[in-house]
Chain A
Amino acid sequence: MPNLNDTQIIRRGLLGRIPARLELIGVIAAALVVIVVLPSLNAFAPEGSAFHVSDFTINLYGKYLCYAVLAISVDLLWGYTGLLSLGQCLFFSIGGYALGMYLMLMIGKLGQYHSDLPDFMVFLGYPKLPAHWVPFHSFWFAAAAVIWVPGAVALIFGYLAFRSRIRGVYFSILTQALTYAASLMFFRNDFTFGGNNGLTDFKFIVGHDVRQPATQRGLYICTGLLLLGTYALCKWLTQSKFGKLQRAVRDSENRVLFSGYATANFKLFVFVVSAIIAALAGALYVPQVGIINPSEMTPDKSLEAVVWVAVGGRGTLIGPIIGAVFVNALKSWATRAYPDLWLIILGAMFIVVVLFLPGGIVSIPRRVMARWRRPEQPLPPLPTPPVEASADPAKTSPASSAS
């Protein structure tokens, strides 16, 4: 496909198209391995045997799977709807904080000060628990907050942004500003969320010791199920009429608007859904990693998530999963094996992907095939580009803003 530029390749879905039956088989197999086989090997294979999967590995993969869910939420916005959000980690962190608050209260008197108050409140001299912390004694309240708080933030922000027809790079900049502002707020000690140190040293989650391998295994399985559920939901969404609309908005929003669709409401809906998905990932991330602090909200974390999606392949649902797991596994390995060079290794990989693999890792097989076997027939000509696309430079953002 030598004569097509990358935007065209992606728009035609040439790289992202995956045969449905094969994808189904692949996903079921991968899900079985991740959700059933690995935890079983961790629980039942004796330590020292070749099949044993260590607690460390389970915990590490739990983290990667959380990142994979986050990556899907980015892709739902960026790859499918053309909204490049650079603030997705804000929702991820809010979800984490909501569950973290519950986990902090579950420490009970086991903290440094043997007080009912979380440690940081004791040494900052809080006389009693702030009122907005009190309901977080209940797991179900916290679980509900994981969903509705980020949902509400996304709703308000999205409503204001989309109503004002903020698009393209301007939307990206605004989301970045939003998450940066939030991180500055959370860094403050008097914001009552532990300031720079955040929330940490968790002990119990719904009655289970969070440090026990069995609990970590349970959390890992939950994350695997969340990933599978998110994948299924997004698959269904993007394949239905909804998905067609998504892509229509991405490729030519004004046409959709003039065809009588309320694109602002539609984008708002996608934005809220993806915020909730990110928040769920954040909530499962916190008990597995053991800390949530405001640096998770800084814009570079959200940019990282975008990079995972780009590396894996945007506009596909498998791509973000592969990208998130691959980049983070590479990072885990390189920070140990080459602590001085790992940034160069990762940076070089990103450059290679941006320059030579705009379709991401998932596009490799197709690129290989394309080289190997020349297309038998020329590709159908592209539809003439919509007029407003050339008039508004921001319109080309879905594909061009990555490169």
Chain B
Amino acid sequence: MRTSYRLLLASGALAVASLFAANRAHAEDKVVKIGILHSLSGTMAISETSLRDVLLYAFDEINAKGGVMGYKIEPVIVDGASNWPLFAEKAKQLLEQDKVAVTFGCWTSVSRKSVLPVFEKDNGLLFYPVQYEGEELSKNIFYTAEAVNQQATPAVDYLLQQGKKKFYLIGTDYVYPQTTNLILYKYLLLKGVPVENIGGGLRMDGGKVVSAGKYVPFSHTDFQQIVADIKQFAASGDACVINTINGDSNVPFFKEIVAAGLTPADCPVVSFSLAEDELRSMPTKDLVGELGCWTYFMSIKSPENKAFLASWKDWLGTESYPGVVKEKRAVDSPMVLSYDGVYLWKAAVEKAGSFDVDKVRAALEAGVDFTGPGGKVTMQPNHHVTKTVYIGETRANGQFKILKEFPDVYGEPFQLKALDEKLAALGK
């Protein structure tokens, strides 16, 4: 008698488990489900929860104005938990069980790579909002993100215009900095910068450069040696640093830069992973005068941006979603690009007159546009977005002073091959 408990237990566990996996989706009339696939816990949560918040804000804003073609948006929030296989599982769940019309999500490239096969297999639709290395084009993903030519190369153009002649490349060792720096290395060669003026080191394999720049592991803290190296590199003047270091490592890096006496006047640092949201938690006094480059800054003085910021603040005051932080919020480029993505998708749905993925894709590829807080964004046939690029200077309050605009830059994901061909044509 007492032994049969084990059987009971085993079958109970199975029953409970299958209950969890059971299909709980029941489509109601006049509701369209949209997936939000971000990390709400784990290492990436600090960045990604902001994107969830701005998406919820966008949905509320659209619902208040009557929804999409009369359908109210029902968000389906899942937590990818900074765990890449879990991202794939959650993507499957959103597509196969909740049957969402579209998903907004991912921050890291690896999470996008993890869900890409799922979106392709189930023919889903994903909008990806964070600057990335390019070299990818899936028919099921729309990249509202900055491609390398909408962030890194305009920044280099700006620095060249400012008379800079020497470029030191430094980044965290993963695919985004590696690829960006390789592109910049080739771009600088093309612009006539000699190899010896590109700092950080080169790694060759089979006669080809496979890696350019200096790399540190995630969460690296000791920058003494590297900054000494940079100081020596910059001693001859006209030098600058291209920084693709990610996350916390930036704090000790900039402390060391200040300690070494490298000022923005003689050797500016341009960072690609530090936006207003990150600056909230950094000692900004070490960064005053250093440069940033994004397709949106909170300090943009357009009526659209002013209206957006005011309405965002109102929403934060009234919303009642669990887990949304209300105080000391900043808005930055990934958030605005998420927001833009929602409106681009809405425009495409209304143009197609349907939520069907193939029809919406066709409408997006044919080109829809939206004038958002960062200016006008237009979807391109190659799934990237034409938008305005801004160069800004960090201020002590964690905001950027806009120095230069590059209007309507066409997003180009495949830079490496194009640059190789141009260099070959020049015989370099």
- Which of A19, A55, A57 has most chain B Cβ within 10 Å? A57
- Does the CB pair B13–A123 fall under 8 Å? no
Residue B406 is within 8 A (CB to CB) of chain A in the complex: no
Chain B residues, Cβ within 8 Å of A289: 85, 88-89
Closest chain A CB from B143 CB (angstroms): 13
- Does the CB pair B210–A329 fall under 8 Å? no
CA distance A254 to B229 in the complex (A): 55
Chain A residues, Cβ within 8 Å of B6: 18, 22-23, 26, 318, 362, 365
Chain A residues, Cβ within 8 Å of B86: 331, 335
Closest chain B CB from A165 CB (angstroms): 33
- Does the CB pair B322–A335 fall under 8 Å? no
CA distance A113 to B205 in the complex (A): 20
- Does the CB pair B88–A189 fall under 8 Å? no
Residue B72 is within 8 A (CB to CB) of chain A in the complex: no
CA distance A41 to B116 in the complex (A): 28
Chain B residues, Cβ within 8 Å of A144: none
Chain A residues, Cβ within 8 Å of B2: 365, 369
- Does the CB pair A126–B113 fall under 8 Å? no
Instruction: Report if A339-B178 is in contact (Cβ < 8 Å); known contacts: A128-B206, A322-B13, A329-B16.
Output: no
- Does the CB pair B205–A340 fall under 8 Å? no
Chain A residues, Cβ within 8 Å of B20: 329-330, 332-333
Please tell me which stretch of B57-65, B73-81, B271-279, B339-347 contacts chain A, meaning at least 4 of its Cβ atoms lie within 8 angstroms of it: B73-81
Kindly supply a per-residue 1/0 record for chain A positions 351-381, scoring 1 wherever the CB is within 8 Å of any chain B CB and 0 otherwise.
Answer: 0000000000110110011000000000000
Chain A residues, Cβ within 8 Å of B208: 125, 127
The closest CB in chain B to the CB of A342 belongs to B79
Chain B residues, Cβ within 8 Å of A329: 16-17, 20-21
CA distance A18 to B5 in the complex (A): 10
- Does the CB pair B84–A187 fall under 8 Å? no
The closest CB in chain B to the CB of A210 belongs to B117
Q: How many residues of A contact B (CB 8 A)?
A: 68
Please tell me which stretch of A197-205, A228-236, A268-276 contacts chain B, meaning at least 4 of its Cβ atoms lie within 8 angstroms of it: A197-205
Instruction: Report if A197-B16 is in contact (Cβ < 8 Å); known contacts: A112-B135, A123-B416.
Output: no
Kindly supply a per-residue 1/0 record for chain B positions 84-118, scoring 1 wherever the CB is within 8 Å of any chain A CB and 0 otherwise.
Answer: 11101110110011000000000011100110111
Please tell me which stretch of A256-264, A290-298, A390-398 contacts chain B, meaning at least 4 of its Cβ atoms lie within 8 angstroms of it: A290-298
Q: Which of A184-217 contact B (CB under 8 A)?
A: 184, 187-190, 195-198, 200-202, 211
Chain A residues, Cβ within 8 Å of B113: 197-198, 200-201, 291
Taking a contact as CB atoms closer than 8 A, the residue among B9, B78, B179, B323 that contacts A362 in the complex is B9
Residue B14 is within 8 A (CB to CB) of chain A in the complex: yes
- Does the CB pair A60–B9 fall under 8 Å? no
The closest CB in chain A to the CB of B21 belongs to A57
Closest chain B CB from A17 CB (angstroms): 10
Instruction: Report if A339-B175 is in contact (Cβ < 8 Å); known contacts: A54-B96, A289-B89.
Output: no
Taking a contact as CB atoms closer than 8 A, the residue among B77, B81, B175, B322 that contacts A189 in the complex is B175
Taking a contact as CB atoms closer than 8 A, the residue among A128, A325, A335, A339 that contacts B17 in the complex is A325
The closest CB in chain A to the CB of B86 belongs to A335
Instruction: Report if A189-B9 is in contact (Cβ < 8 Å); known contacts: A197-B113, A339-B40.
Output: no
Q: How many residues of B contact A (CB 8 A)?
A: 70
CA distance A329 to B93 in the complex (A): 13
The closest CB in chain B to the CB of A329 belongs to B17
- Does the CB pair B205–A290 fall under 8 Å? no
Instruction: Report if A295-B83 is in contact (Cβ < 8 Å); known contacts: A26-B10, A125-B209.
Output: yes
CA distance A33 to B17 in the complex (A): 14
The closest CB in chain B to the CB of A33 belongs to B14
Chain A residues, Cβ within 8 Å of B10: 26, 29-30, 318, 322
- Does the CB pair A187–B89 fall under 8 Å? no
Closest chain B CB from A398 CB (angstroms): 23
Instruction: Report if A339-B121 is in contact (Cβ < 8 Å); known contacts: A26-B6, A187-B218, A200-B116.
Output: no
Q: Which of B184-208 contact A (CB under 8 A)?
A: 203, 205-208
Residue A326 is within 8 A (CB to CB) of chain B in the complex: yes
Closest chain B CB from A91 CB (angstroms): 17
Taking a contact as CB atoms closer than 8 A, the residue among A26, A56, A202, A362 that contacts B96 in the complex is A56
The closest CB in chain A to the CB of B135 belongs to A123
- Does the CB pair A124–B21 fall under 8 Å? no
Residue A120 is within 8 A (CB to CB) of chain B in the complex: yes
Closest chain A CB from B249 CB (angstroms): 14
Taking a contact as CB atoms closer than 8 A, the residue among B13, B114, B203, B218 that contacts A190 in the complex is B203
CA distance A188 to B116 in the complex (A): 22
- Does the CB pair B3–A19 fall under 8 Å? yes
- Does the CB pair A187–B9 fall under 8 Å? no
Residue A241 is within 8 A (CB to CB) of chain B in the complex: no
Instruction: Report if A365-B135 is in contact (Cβ < 8 Å); known contacts: A196-B175, A289-B85, A332-B20.
Output: no
The 4 closest A-B CB pairs, nearest first, are A365-B5, A333-B20, A127-B206, A196-B174
Interface residues of chain B, those whose CB is within 8 Å of chain A, are 2-10, 13-14, 16-18, 20-21, 23, 40-41, 76-81, 83-86, 88-90, 92-93, 96-97, 108-110, 113-114, 116-118, 120-121, 133, 135-137, 173-175, 178-179, 182, 203, 205-211, 215, 217-218, 322-323, 416
Instruction: List 18 A–B pairs whose Cβ atoms lie within 8 Å, in order of A's numbering.
Output: A25-B7, A26-B6, A57-B18, A112-B135, A125-B210, A126-B210, A127-B207, A187-B174, A195-B174, A195-B175, A200-B114, A291-B88, A318-B10, A326-B16, A339-B323, A343-B41, A368-B5, A369-B5
Given contacts A112-B136, A290-B85, 13 further A-B contacts (CB under 8 A): A125-B182, A125-B209, A127-B206, A187-B173, A187-B174, A200-B116, A201-B113, A326-B16, A332-B21, A333-B20, A342-B41, A368-B5, A369-B2
